[in-house]
Amino acid sequence: MARTSAAQAVRVSAVPYSELGCDGALECVRRWGLERQMVIAELEDGAAAGEWLSLHRRESDAPFDERDRTLLALLMPHLSEARAVSRSLSLARASNEPVLTPGRHRALTLLDGTVLHCGSQVSEYIGLGWPDWDGVRLPSPLLQKLTCEGSVTLKQRGESIHARQFSDSLLLTVKSVPLAARLTRREHEIVQYFGAGRGYKEIARRCGLSPATVRNIVQRSYRKLGINSKAQLARLIYRTEVEA
Protein backbone atom coordinates (compact mmCIF):
# COMPACT_ATOMS: atom_id res chain seq x y z
CA MET A 1 0.00 0.00 0.00
CA ALA A 2 1.43 3.43 -0.86
CA ARG A 3 0.49 7.00 -0.05
CA THR A 4 2.13 9.80 -2.01
CA SER A 5 2.22 13.53 -1.39
CA ALA A 6 4.30 16.42 -2.72
CA ALA A 7 6.76 16.02 0.15
CA GLN A 8 7.09 12.28 0.62
CA ALA A 9 6.07 8.77 -0.34
CA VAL A 10 5.10 6.33 2.40
CA ARG A 11 4.80 2.59 1.75
CA VAL A 12 3.41 0.11 4.27
CA SER A 13 3.43 -3.63 3.83
CA ALA A 14 2.84 -6.77 5.91
CA VAL A 15 5.71 -9.23 5.43
CA PRO A 16 5.54 -12.99 6.26
CA TYR A 17 8.42 -14.03 8.50
CA SER A 18 9.25 -16.82 6.08
CA GLU A 19 10.31 -14.13 3.58
CA LEU A 20 12.69 -12.29 5.90
CA GLY A 21 15.73 -14.19 4.67
CA CYS A 22 17.69 -13.31 7.83
CA ASP A 23 18.75 -15.94 10.35
CA GLY A 24 19.08 -13.35 13.12
CA ALA A 25 15.57 -12.07 12.56
CA LEU A 26 14.15 -15.59 12.45
CA GLU A 27 15.88 -16.40 15.74
CA CYS A 28 14.14 -13.42 17.36
CA VAL A 29 10.85 -14.63 15.92
CA ARG A 30 11.31 -18.07 17.44
CA ARG A 31 12.54 -16.73 20.79
CA TRP A 32 9.64 -14.34 21.36
CA GLY A 33 6.92 -16.34 19.67
CA LEU A 34 6.23 -13.69 17.05
CA GLU A 35 4.02 -14.48 14.10
CA ARG A 36 3.05 -11.20 12.47
CA GLN A 37 5.16 -8.29 11.26
CA MET A 38 4.39 -4.97 9.63
CA VAL A 39 7.17 -2.95 8.02
CA ILE A 40 6.70 0.80 7.66
CA ALA A 41 9.02 2.74 5.38
CA GLU A 42 9.26 6.44 4.62
CA LEU A 43 10.79 6.94 1.20
CA GLU A 44 12.01 10.19 -0.30
CA ASP A 45 11.40 10.95 -3.98
CA GLY A 46 10.49 7.34 -4.69
CA ALA A 47 13.96 6.09 -3.72
CA ALA A 48 14.45 2.58 -2.42
CA ALA A 49 16.29 3.80 0.68
CA GLY A 50 14.72 5.67 3.57
CA GLU A 51 13.58 5.43 7.17
CA TRP A 52 11.88 2.21 8.19
CA LEU A 53 10.38 0.67 11.30
CA SER A 54 8.74 -2.67 11.95
CA LEU A 55 5.99 -3.75 14.35
CA HIS A 56 5.46 -7.30 15.56
CA ARG A 57 2.59 -9.30 17.04
CA ARG A 58 2.36 -12.75 18.59
CA GLU A 59 0.41 -15.52 16.91
CA SER A 60 -2.37 -15.12 19.48
CA ASP A 61 -2.87 -11.46 18.50
CA ALA A 62 -5.13 -10.33 15.69
CA PRO A 63 -3.46 -10.00 12.26
CA PHE A 64 -2.62 -6.55 10.96
CA ASP A 65 -5.48 -5.30 8.83
CA GLU A 66 -6.15 -2.50 6.37
CA ARG A 67 -7.12 -0.13 9.19
CA ASP A 68 -3.76 -0.74 10.92
CA ARG A 69 -1.89 -0.12 7.68
CA THR A 70 -3.75 3.12 6.97
CA LEU A 71 -3.21 4.43 10.51
CA LEU A 72 0.48 3.55 10.58
CA ALA A 73 1.06 5.12 7.18
CA LEU A 74 -0.27 8.38 8.60
CA LEU A 75 1.86 8.04 11.75
CA MET A 76 5.11 7.09 10.00
CA PRO A 77 6.45 10.64 9.44
CA HIS A 78 5.94 11.36 13.14
CA LEU A 79 7.59 8.11 14.21
CA SER A 80 10.51 8.86 11.91
CA GLU A 81 10.94 12.33 13.41
CA ALA A 82 10.72 10.96 16.96
CA ARG A 83 13.47 8.46 16.15
CA ALA A 84 15.62 11.26 14.70
CA VAL A 85 15.18 13.32 17.86
CA SER A 86 16.06 10.34 20.05
CA ARG A 87 19.12 9.55 17.95
CA SER A 88 20.38 13.14 18.08
CA LEU A 89 19.89 13.38 21.82
CA SER A 90 21.77 10.09 22.21
CA LEU A 91 24.67 11.61 20.26
CA ALA A 92 24.60 14.53 22.65
CA ARG A 93 24.68 12.25 25.69
CA ALA A 94 27.63 10.36 24.19
CA SER A 95 29.61 13.60 23.90
CA ASN A 96 30.42 13.66 27.65
CA GLU A 97 28.19 16.69 28.20
CA PRO A 98 26.69 16.54 31.71
CA VAL A 99 23.00 15.62 32.03
CA LEU A 100 22.15 15.95 28.34
CA THR A 101 18.59 14.65 28.44
CA PRO A 102 15.38 15.90 26.88
CA GLY A 103 13.27 18.18 29.06
CA ARG A 104 11.37 21.42 29.26
CA HIS A 105 14.63 23.42 29.26
CA ARG A 106 15.99 21.82 26.06
CA ALA A 107 15.25 21.92 22.36
CA LEU A 108 16.64 20.26 19.24
CA THR A 109 16.74 21.88 15.81
CA LEU A 110 18.34 21.31 12.44
CA LEU A 111 21.14 23.66 11.44
CA ASP A 112 18.69 25.73 9.39
CA GLY A 113 16.60 26.35 12.54
CA THR A 114 13.82 23.82 11.82
CA VAL A 115 12.50 22.71 15.21
CA LEU A 116 12.45 18.95 15.88
CA HIS A 117 11.78 19.07 19.62
CA CYS A 118 11.08 22.06 21.87
CA GLY A 119 10.61 21.98 25.64
CA SER A 120 8.10 24.36 27.20
CA GLN A 121 10.75 26.51 28.88
CA VAL A 122 12.59 27.05 25.60
CA SER A 123 9.31 27.84 23.83
CA GLU A 124 8.40 30.38 26.50
CA TYR A 125 11.85 31.94 26.32
CA ILE A 126 11.70 32.38 22.54
CA GLY A 127 8.11 33.65 22.69
CA LEU A 128 9.08 36.46 25.06
CA GLY A 129 11.79 37.69 22.72
CA TRP A 130 9.83 37.07 19.49
CA PRO A 131 6.07 37.25 20.25
CA ASP A 132 5.11 36.30 16.67
CA TRP A 133 7.19 33.09 16.69
CA ASP A 134 5.22 30.20 15.13
CA GLY A 135 7.24 27.35 16.66
CA VAL A 136 8.22 25.84 13.32
CA ARG A 137 11.63 27.44 12.77
CA LEU A 138 13.87 29.50 15.05
CA PRO A 139 13.63 33.26 14.47
CA SER A 140 16.40 34.28 12.05
CA PRO A 141 18.11 36.77 14.44
CA LEU A 142 18.16 34.15 17.20
CA LEU A 143 19.54 31.43 14.91
CA GLN A 144 22.22 33.76 13.57
CA LYS A 145 23.34 34.82 17.03
CA LEU A 146 23.34 31.27 18.38
CA THR A 147 25.35 30.08 15.38
CA CYS A 148 27.91 32.89 15.63
CA GLU A 149 28.15 33.46 19.39
CA GLY A 150 26.81 30.26 20.93
CA SER A 151 24.38 31.93 23.36
CA VAL A 152 21.77 34.67 23.76
CA THR A 153 20.71 36.35 27.02
CA LEU A 154 17.18 37.50 27.78
CA LYS A 155 17.78 40.21 30.38
CA GLN A 156 14.22 40.51 31.65
CA ARG A 157 14.17 36.79 32.53
CA GLY A 158 17.72 36.48 33.79
CA GLU A 159 18.16 33.48 31.52
CA SER A 160 20.30 32.63 28.54
CA ILE A 161 19.90 30.09 25.77
CA HIS A 162 23.00 28.15 24.70
CA ALA A 163 23.56 26.17 21.51
CA ARG A 164 25.87 23.23 20.85
CA GLN A 165 26.21 21.61 17.44
CA PHE A 166 26.01 17.83 17.16
CA SER A 167 26.19 16.31 13.69
CA ASP A 168 23.55 18.16 11.66
CA SER A 169 21.62 19.45 14.68
CA LEU A 170 21.71 22.18 17.31
CA LEU A 171 21.01 21.27 20.92
CA LEU A 172 19.58 24.30 22.76
CA THR A 173 19.60 24.64 26.54
CA VAL A 174 18.07 27.40 28.66
CA LYS A 175 20.18 28.28 31.71
CA SER A 176 19.86 30.85 34.43
CA VAL A 177 22.37 33.69 34.27
CA PRO A 178 24.57 33.44 37.41
CA LEU A 179 23.49 35.78 40.20
CA ALA A 180 26.98 37.27 40.35
CA ALA A 181 26.53 38.50 36.76
CA ARG A 182 23.22 40.20 37.56
CA LEU A 183 24.11 41.88 40.88
CA THR A 184 26.94 43.97 42.27
CA ARG A 185 29.46 42.17 44.44
CA ARG A 186 27.90 43.62 47.63
CA GLU A 187 24.36 42.73 46.52
CA HIS A 188 25.45 39.20 45.67
CA GLU A 189 27.12 38.75 49.05
CA ILE A 190 24.05 39.93 50.96
CA VAL A 191 21.45 37.93 49.03
CA GLN A 192 23.55 34.79 49.52
CA TYR A 193 23.41 35.35 53.28
CA PHE A 194 19.72 36.28 53.16
CA GLY A 195 18.76 33.30 51.01
CA ALA A 196 20.59 31.00 53.44
CA GLY A 197 18.29 32.15 56.24
CA ARG A 198 20.33 34.94 57.87
CA GLY A 199 18.42 37.89 59.33
CA TYR A 200 18.98 41.59 58.60
CA LYS A 201 20.79 42.20 61.89
CA GLU A 202 23.17 39.25 61.52
CA ILE A 203 24.00 40.21 57.92
CA ALA A 204 24.53 43.82 59.03
CA ARG A 205 27.06 42.69 61.65
CA ARG A 206 28.90 40.48 59.17
CA CYS A 207 29.11 43.17 56.50
CA GLY A 208 29.59 46.23 58.70
CA LEU A 209 26.33 47.83 57.59
CA SER A 210 23.13 48.96 59.25
CA PRO A 211 20.06 46.65 59.16
CA ALA A 212 18.18 49.31 57.17
CA THR A 213 20.92 49.37 54.52
CA VAL A 214 20.84 45.58 54.29
CA ARG A 215 17.05 45.68 53.87
CA ASN A 216 17.35 48.24 51.08
CA ILE A 217 19.99 46.16 49.28
CA VAL A 218 17.81 43.05 49.51
CA GLN A 219 14.81 44.92 48.06
CA ARG A 220 16.93 46.39 45.26
CA SER A 221 18.28 42.92 44.47
CA TYR A 222 14.73 41.54 44.37
CA ARG A 223 13.82 44.08 41.72
CA LYS A 224 16.88 43.21 39.64
CA LEU A 225 16.13 39.49 39.88
CA GLY A 226 12.39 39.85 39.23
CA ILE A 227 11.36 38.15 42.49
CA ASN A 228 9.51 39.27 45.61
CA SER A 229 10.07 36.71 48.36
CA LYS A 230 12.77 34.93 50.31
CA ALA A 231 11.46 31.55 49.10
CA GLN A 232 11.86 32.63 45.47
CA LEU A 233 15.37 33.84 46.23
CA ALA A 234 16.31 30.51 47.80
CA ARG A 235 14.97 28.60 44.78
CA LEU A 236 16.83 30.91 42.39
CA ILE A 237 20.11 30.46 44.28
CA TYR A 238 19.64 26.68 44.27
CA ARG A 239 18.84 26.55 40.55
CA THR A 240 21.84 28.62 39.54
CA GLU A 241 24.12 26.51 41.72
CA VAL A 242 22.80 23.27 40.18
CA GLU A 243 23.30 24.62 36.64
CA ALA A 244 26.78 25.98 37.35
What's the pLDDT tens digit per position in 58-79? 777 888 888 887 777 777 666 6
Do 186 and 212 belong to one domain? yes
Residue 89 in domain: no
Do 12 and 72 belong to one domain? yes
**Average pLDDT over the chain, rounded to whole?**
75
Residue 124 in domain: yes
Distance (Å, whole) CA 151 – CA 164: 9
Do 11 and 72 belong to one domain? yes
Phi/psi at 233 (5° precision): -65, -45
Q: Name the domain boundary from 128, 158, 176.
A: 176
Do 13 and 72 belong to one domain? yes
Band the pLDDT of 209: cuts 50, 70, 90: very high
Taking residues 97-107, what's their average pLDDT?
59
Q: Which of 184, 180, 142 is nearest to 163 (CA)?
A: 142
Do 189 and 211 belong to one domain? yes
pLDDT, one tens digit per residue, over 21-62 is 566 666 767 777 777 777 766 555 544 455 566 777 777 788
Print the domain residue range for 209.
179-243
Q: Which of 4, 131, 140, 7 is nearest to 81 (CA)?
A: 7
Do 201 and 172 belong to one domain? no
Residue 6 in domain: yes
- CATH number, domain of 187, equals 1.10.10.10
* pTM tops 0.85, yes or no: no
The count of structural domains within the chain is 3
pLDDT, one tens digit per residue, over 119-161 is 888 888 888 888 899 889 999 999 999 999 888 876 556 678 8
Phi/psi at 112 (5° precision): -85, 5
Asked if 160 and 151 touch (Cβ cutoff 8 Å), the reply is yes
Residue 84 in domain: no
Band the pLDDT of 92: cuts 50, 70, 90: low
Do 55 and 7 belong to one domain? yes
